[in-house]
Amino acid sequence: MRDSVTIVGASLAGLRSAETLRRDGFGGRISLIGDEPHQPYDRPPLSKQVLAGDWEPERALLTPAEKLEPLGLDLRLGVRATGLDVAARELEVDGVAEPFDGLLIATGARCRTLPGTGGPVAVHTLRTLDDCLAIRAALDDGARRMVVIGAGFIGAEVASVAVGRGTSVTLVEALPAPFARVLGQEMGAVVADVHVANGVDLRCGVGVSSVAGEPGAMTVAMADGSDVYADLVVVGIGVVPNTEWLEGSGLTLDDGVVCDPTCLAAPNVVAAGDVARWTDPRTGESMRVEHWDNAVEQGRHAARRLLATDEEAEVFAPVPWFWSDQYDRKIQLAGRPHPDDEVRVVDGSTDERRFAAFYGRRGQLTAVLGMNRPRQVMQGRGLLEQGVGWDDALAVAAGWD
Amino acid sequence: MRIVVDYDLCESNAICMAIAPDVFEVRDDDLLHVLNEAPGEDRREKMEEAVQRCPKQAIAIED
């Protein structure tokens, strides 16, 4: 039995893993270390309700104080893990070494930045509460024109909120079709249409050469020679896992902390959330998943792995799922489609922007996409968990109406 | 154990329904209905999973 567990990363995966340890009866010391000064908070509202000004930041706390306190966590906020020596079982926090018994790594990821936009130019990214409040302050100050670089789901949500606040938005995507990398061409276009219908100036297939100016007077120079003017520029071009502090630790790093199929990265060390890479037992593919639900699920799994013996350890085999709220549409995707999968609308219609669609490949159901169709997505997710074939899945969906 | 849903928070993501379809149901009107407000103790682990995995943290267990 372990005496103590140290969790590095006080966000969703870290906090949920701590709660799981207590729920499972672990009575030892749990240290939860986070580099942000804030109490652990939830990130989805940062590109939704908090950015819109509908919620104050306190409402985005992950666990209210009255529920956090009884867990008896050794919560160490505003400090940073700076190194690790797996063989010596030593963690380094702000440069000072300390021993650990069991270690859970949940250091997440940070925003990729646009090359050439470093330095003093005010280009926003959105990951942290402070990022959110900076963009919100610019909107509060009356920013009338916003450029969002990168039509991924964060960029799309920022665009949606800004439009809702009366800001005119230009959404720029280097790829020919937005969301196509995740949803494929056909469904990517359906989501893109929602933005166009809400008045967004969507520009695809053109890169950004440079961003210059100062807040309130920014110029985004496009690769096709055109300029777009804005009060505010937000970049959403993906994230990179926070693993630099683990260089030389003895762990294998490869776009994330490489774990075995049970989330074990080394003896006494597990990883969870955006930072963790593992081999999915369902597909044999190496995965790193940046979804909210995965942080919860993998945090729970990794916590239990840390208390289990090698014989008891279970593989982590989730069906990935995420949601995105854009305008009045709720988009949900379960599973992992490939861009060239067959796509079939099985419920509703894309014209109504209220539908469920199946993705399939080689006779297998691979993913379920829904727009304002949560029930069907979750039923489809159940089919994915069961590994149902394409024809059988279509037969089930035919009975939904 | 009683299941309490804060309908001001609930956004009908239907995760709870995937975890425990005998207790939670999102219907065609896209609204969540609790089918069994007092599930038995044997359902506790599933109910706690539903609480943790609700993206809006709209579900609570009252003992």
The CATH number of the domain holding residue B19 is: 3.30.70.20
List helix spans (H) across A165-291: 180-197
How many domains is chain B built from?
1
Q: Closest chain B residue to A324 measured between Cα atoms?
A: B13
What does pLDDT average to over chain B? 91
The size of chain A, in residues, is: 401
Each residue's pLDDT, cut to its tens digit, for chain B (63 residues) gives: 999 999 988 988 899 998 999 999 988 788 899 999 999 999 998 999 999 889 888 999 998
Record the tokens describing residue A103, joined without a space. 């270690």
Which chain A residues are Cβ-neighbours of B6 within 8 angstroms? none
| Contact between A330 and B12 using a beta-carbon 8 Å cutoff | yes
Select the residue from B6, B8, B11, B15 to test the A interface by mutation, using most A Cβ atoms within 10 A: B15
Q: Parallel, antiparallel, or unpaired for β A145-149 and A168-173?
A: parallel
List helix spans (H) across A281-355: 292-307
pLDDT at position A216, please? 87
CA-closest candidate to residue A151, choices A118, A108, A194: A194
pLDDT at position A15, please? 97
Map residue A180 onto helix, strand or coil. Answer: helix
pLDDT at position B47, please? 95
| Contact of A136 with A129, CB cutoff 8 Å | no
- Domains in chain A, CATH or no CATH each: 4-110+239-307 (3.50.50.60), 113-235 (3.50.50.60), 328-398 (3.30.390.30)
Residues of chain A with pLDDT below 70 are 116-121, 401
pLDDT at position A401, please? 66
- Find the domain containing B43 and state its range: 2-62
pLDDT at position A119, please? 54
Cα A90 versus chain centre, distance: 29
Record the tokens describing residue A4, joined without a space. 């103590």
ipTM: 0.83
In the A/B pair of chains, how many CB contacts fall below 8 A?
A: 43
Select the residue from B51, B53, B56, B63 to test the A interface by mutation, using most A Cβ atoms within 10 A: B53
Model's pTM, two decimal places?
Answer: 0.94
